[in-house]
Structure 1
Amino acid sequence: MVESSIMGMTYFKRYRMEFDLRDWRGEDPRLPEGYEILPYLPGLLREHAIAKFNSFKEELDANVFPCLSRRDGCLRLMREITSRGDFVPDATWLIRALETDPKTGAVQSYAVGTIQGLSTEGWGSIQNVGIDPAHRGKGLGSILLSKAATGFRAVGLERMHLEVTTENTGAVRLYERLGFKRSSVVYKAAEVAGASA
């Protein structure tokens, strides 16, 4: 017996949300104990991809952007973002969790958060703010957005924006709490298994 899933086109409603950087003071929230944050370096590409995969693999956005549901897809996406001419390294950050082995005292780290920035048509464009579900609720997303905002200002940008699926209410609330304003509604078409055509 062969199982097959019917693919159908689904349209996901998304908000474009904007933030005015002209009044940005660059006040970074404090990083919780047990974490470190690193600026973008090419050698961290795989860690960004791992953080992205772990953040999105079971989330709605993995349906909207299927590459987010696969490790190789996240790595390919990171390579595409960082090879673009409008890539902004200053707005691209990685958060690692730090764990100390109680027996040896050795500190191990693993990637749990990522954000990337592009400069498009005079705007700082946030790409894929991702926090591993096991590390949410600690302010890490706010820290990544703050670092990205500071990075965009450092390269002379005065505004930034992002898109968020409207059903991702936790993320929408976070962005609004930080001062992002909804500016428009956009629709993203995606093929989803089991969706009626």
Structure 2
Amino acid sequence: MQPTITQYTPTHWKPLWQLRFTHLAEQGIIGPDDIIPTVPGLPEHDRYERDLNRIDEVYLSGGGGFWLAWQREEPVGYVGGQDLGSVIELRRMYVKATHRRQGIGGLLVQALIDHCRANGMPVIELWTEEHGLGQLLYTRLGFQQVPTPGPGFEEVDQATHRAPNPEEIRMRLVL
């Protein structure tokens, strides 16, 4: 069965967080289920999961966006694109372990690519593990490895509140 890719709406808040906690559990980070935020927003000084808690500000403004993949009404993946002014930073790419290697990641990223093209965004960049499956996916979709963030991405670490780890590489897709 082909998954359905939908743009995020406020009705997806709880399923998004349930999927986020599944992602954390796959990484060995377990927390109580009752800590799922009931509504968007956090105090400004709180940086924990800031982008997801302020999804409307981080992903849904400008040329950005956020998408979920659904299989039989169950969320199985997500991807976000953050508008950094005139370029998009791909963030939060995730597919549930039980649904990987089925083309869902490609469909999610393609939704972001199509959205960027339709909105005149010229470039998408991202960080990914150098020898991970993500690199294979992004290469297949046309991304190329680059040595450093390109024009428009100079302040990417500050804008995303995230610094790359030493095992990550930078990739770019010119649209």
Could you say whether these structures have the same fold, taking a TM-score greater than 0.5 normalized by the shorter chain as the test?
A: yes
Tell me the distance in 2 between the aligned counterparts of 1:56 and 1:172: 21
1:118 equivalent to 2:82? Answer yes
Alignment of 1:26-175 (within 5 A): 33=1, 35-59=3-27, 77-84=51-58, 87=61, 91-98=65-72, 109-167=73-131, 169-175=132-138
Q: Give me the TM-score of the superposition, normalised by structure 1.
A: 0.59
Q: Judge conservation of contact 1:36–1:96 (CA < 8 Å) in 2.
A: yes
The 3 A distance-change label for structure 1 pair 86 and 184 is farther
Secondary structure of the 1:92 match is: strand
The 3 A distance-change label for structure 1 pair 82 and 174 is same
The 3 A distance-change label for structure 1 pair 87 and 52 is farther
Tell me the distance in 1 between the aligned counterparts of 2:69 and 2:138: 19
**2:159 aligned partner:** none
**2:146 aligned partner:** 183
Tell me the distance in 1 between the aligned counterparts of 2:145 and 2:104: 22
Structure with more strand by fraction: 1
Tell me the distance in 2 between the aligned counterparts of 1:150 and 1:140: 15
**2:172 aligned partner:** none
The 3 A distance-change label for structure 1 pair 91 and 83 is closer
Tell me the distance in 2 between the aligned counterparts of 1:129 and 1:187: 15
Tell me the distance in 2 between the aligned counterparts of 1:165 and 1:48: 24
**1:20 aligned partner:** none
How many Å apart are 1:55 and its aligned residue?
3.3
The higher relative CO (CA closer than 8 Å, separation ≥ 6) is in 1
Q: Give me the TM-score of the superposition, normalised by structure 2.
A: 0.65
Runs (4 or more) in structure 1 with deviation over 6 Å come to: none
How many Å apart are 1:51 and its aligned residue?
2.4
